[in-house]
Amino acid sequence: MASRSLPPVGSEDDASVAGTGLAASESEYIGALADAGERMVDRLRRKAFLPESRKGLSVRLGIAEVAGLLGCSTNRIRMAEEDGRLPPPPAAENGRRVGYDIPAILNMREVLGASPRRAEGDAPAIMAVQNFKGGVGKSTVTTHLAHYLAVQGYRVLVVDCDSQATTTTLFGFNPHFNIKREETLYPYLSIDPTQADLLYAVQPTPWPNVDLIPSNLELFDVEYELAAAGADGQSVLATRFRKLKQGLVDLAQRYDVVILDPPPALGTISLAVMQAANALLVPLAATTPDFCSTVQFLSMMDQVIAQLEQAGIAVDYSFCRLLCSKLDKNDPSQSMMMTIMEQTFGSSLLPVPILESAEISHAALRMMTVFELERPIGTARTHRRCKTNLNEAMGQVEQLIRRHWGRANVDGARLSEALAQ
């Protein structure tokens, strides 16, 4: 790509194309802005990733934290390490134990019978994290929920259905350079589909138990194509809806939870996601614009669901909840908005909000979630507070999923019981 240049800051030349002396309209700089942005994204990626530009997963947890996760005593883990059921504990560095990595913890769950997976007959959760407004935290909630569930031992598939591809980026891909249209949902949803099932699109991630169907800008072509289909559009649309649902239901058999991150607008893909899901999570920050847009979103959902049902396309959710995705408790206007949200939505609003935290935005800058951080970015206290809050907020969603499997409240005590048997 030829690198276009921006005018020097504050130059007299602001309105001329560098080197030509020709007057330029501001619009001619857009390409240069895009180039400069791409170069910076690449620099950020190189800083965040392994040398071979592959994202790694280096988070490690101490034995006490692992025991807490598994709902057993540290003694039980040590015994299994001693009698050879588990590999020996990770070696110490500089006299300090380095902790267990995610594959080791997953292995421990298998060996000690502490897997929270759904039973064979339980339907996998296919959950849309949806709202028609951008910036409400859809991708942040999607990725944090995926990694939270992965730490808990579930098998997770994340489907990035948004051509803006923030979720894909947070999983370590550069949607522009690493992802081809053929690797997104496009070949499956296109008006001339070249794929009959969704297996082709599944990519591994640095997490052993999380897969991703990535996205890029070209996924948007699905919207164009169906709009251009004119009168035939309606029937094509209905066929696409059924197709996405069937494809996801088939693929979901390999997972416990499928999380869908749809685009922030009412389009073909959003509609398809809406009816393909069997659960709905609506994130919104505690601000007036988010509240107002969410109310509009809900009323639009209501109308669309009625229309879909009239057309014989059933929409059925095992749960439908709102989740405050960003709350600054020190901001009185946000606390007031939180109260308004509680009054308006009652028990449909999950009781534990995600607190606004620099740890989340700093992790995003490194293209990571807080669950991937090897060490705190801010102070240890900020990190701990953020992770505790995320565990609680995501734990509420986990419980809703488990309730659908008839297995609510898998807390430490229940697991210990299972372990003792």
Residue ranges binding ligand ADP (CB under 6 A): 134-140, 166, 264, 325-326, 354, 356-357, 360-361, 364
Residue 376 C-beta: closest distance to ligand ADP, Å = 15
- Region for residue 299 given its phi and psi (left: phi exceeds 0; alpha: psi -120 to 50; beta: otherwise): alpha
- Picking from 155, 137, 269, 133, the residue whose alpha carbon sits closest to that of residue 211 is 155
Question: Is residue 414 packed enough to be buried (19+ CB in 10 Å), middle (13-18) or exposed (0-12)?
Answer: middle
Nearer to Mg ion, 176 or 242 (CB): 176
140: contact with Mg ion by CB under 5 A: no
Terminal Cα distance for the chain, rounded: 63
Check residue 293 for interaction with Mg ion (CB under 5 A): no
The candidate with the shortest Cα–Cα distance to 364, out of 171, 134, 132, 102, is 171
Q: What are phi and psi of 363, to 5 degrees?
A: -65, -40
Radius of gyration of the chain (CA): 23
Name the binder of 298 from Mg ion, ligand ADP, none, CB < 5-8 A by kind: none
x/- binding map, residues 84-123, to Mg ion, per CB under 5 A? ----------------------------------------
Provide the angle, in degrees to the nearest 10, between the axes of the packed helices 63-70 and 74-82: 100
Out of 138, 155, 240, 383, point to the residue binding Mg ion (CB under 5 A): 138
Contact between 133 and Mg ion by CB under 5 A: the answer reads: no
Nearer to ligand ADP, 71 or 283 (CB): 283
**Tokens standing for 382?**
């900020």
What CA–CA distance (Å, rounded) separates 198 from 217?
A: 19
Based on CB atoms, which residue is closest to ligand ADP, 364 or 419? 364
Q: Kindly state the smallest distance separating residue 215's Cβ from ligand ADP, in Å.
A: 12
The least CB distance from residue 89 to ligand ADP, in Å, is 34
Q: Given the rule CB under 5 A, which of 3-11, 133-141, 286-294, 342-350 is the region that contacts Mg ion?
A: 133-141
Contact in structure between 35 and 3 (CB atoms under 8 Å): yes
Provide the minimum distance between the beta carbon of 285 and ligand ADP in the complex, in angstroms, as a whole number.
Answer: 7
Instruction: Closer to ligand ADP by CB, 73 or 361: give it.
Output: 361
Residue found under tokens 């902790």: 99
Name the minimum Å distance from CB 166 to Mg ion.
4
Residue closest to Mg ion (Cβ)? 139
Nearer to Mg ion, 67 or 281 (CB): 281
Q: Return the closest-CA partner of residue 366 out of 214, 172, 177, 216.
A: 172
* Nearest-approach distance from CB 162 to ligand ADP, in angstroms: 7
User: Which backbone phi and psi does 263 adopt, to 5 degrees?
Assistant: -70, 155
User: Minimum Å distance from CB 261 to Mg ion?
Assistant: 6
Is residue 139 close enough to count as binding Mg ion by CB under 5 A?
yes
Work out whether 168 is an interface residue with Mg ion (CB under 5 A). no
* Cβ atoms of residues 90 and 51 within 8 Å: no
Q: Which residues pair with 97 in a beta bridge?
A: 92
Q: Does 155 bind Mg ion (CB under 5 A)?
A: no
d(CA 45, CA 116): 34
Can you tell me which residue has the tokens 């857009």?
30
Q: Footprint of Mg ion on residues 50-69 (CB under 5 A)? A: none
Q: Which does 184 bind (CB under 5 to 8 A by kind): Mg ion, ligand ADP, none?
A: none
Q: How far is the CB of 7 from Mg ion (least distance, A)?
A: 32
Our finding on whether 326 is near Mg ion (CB under 5 A) is: no
Nearer to Mg ion, 344 or 361 (CB): 361
